[in-house]
Amino acid sequence: MAMTPGLRKFALTAHITFSVGWLGAVIGFLALVVATLTSQDAQAVRATFIAMELIGWFAIVPLALASLLTGLVMSLGTKWGLFRHYWVLIKLLLTILATIVLLLNMQTVSFLADIATKTGSADLSGLWGELLHAGGGLLVLLVTMILSVYKPRGMTQYGRRKQHNRHKIN
């Protein structure tokens, strides 16, 4: 099912917006983690734990889900297809993996923010894991962006079969 040019441009704009937003929110989260690891101010550390939870649940998670959804729409509605090209498939798998890891990690972020809120102190040992998660997430998002821009060649078996069948019909 091919999209009309206007719908394709709208869907692409939405996908880019959500994906870049996700990337930016992760960078903001990472900045909070680094600021917290280097701060000596207990109040600032406590506040950043709370801010990390808010950014996670109200920015990063919705943007990740919206990026995944719009990416599926784009792949299903354009010539690239969902299973035709390796770069699309790898991008999909990375996005799904990043979203699952994000959702699982947000439980830890919420736990750390809850401790900071209830006790007035923060468990800084949990921040090294957050640094790893945010840094790894940023790396995965950069890889998916590179795949989108360069679109490396290589069709899947399914894609080659579809292309072969299309040429036989024409």
What distance in Å separates the CA atoms of residue 11 and residue 77, rounded to the nearest whole number? Answer: 9
pLDDT band at 32 (very low <50, low <70, confident <90, very high): very high
pLDDT-above-90 percentage for the chain = 64
The range of the structural domain enclosing residue 131 comes to 5-169
Residue 111 phi, psi (nearest 5): -60, -45
How many residues in the chain? 170
Residues 75-119 have pLDDT tens digits of 998 888 888 899 999 999 999 999 999 999 999 999 989 988 898
Q: How confident is the model at residue 170 (pLDDT cuts 50, 70, 90)?
A: low
The pTM assigned to this predicted structure is 0.89
**What pLDDT digit, counting tens, does each position of 55-84 carry?**
999 999 999 999 999 999 999 988 888 888
What does the pLDDT look like over 156-166, one tens digit per residue?
Answer: 888 888 777 77
First-to-last CA distance in the chain? 18
Query: How far is Cα 127 from Cα 75, in angstroms, rounded to an integer?
Result: 36
Distance from CA of residue 48 to its chain's centroid?
21
Total structural domains within the chain: 1
Q: Which residue has the tokens 């991008």?
A: 91
pLDDT for 21:
98
pLDDT at 62: 98
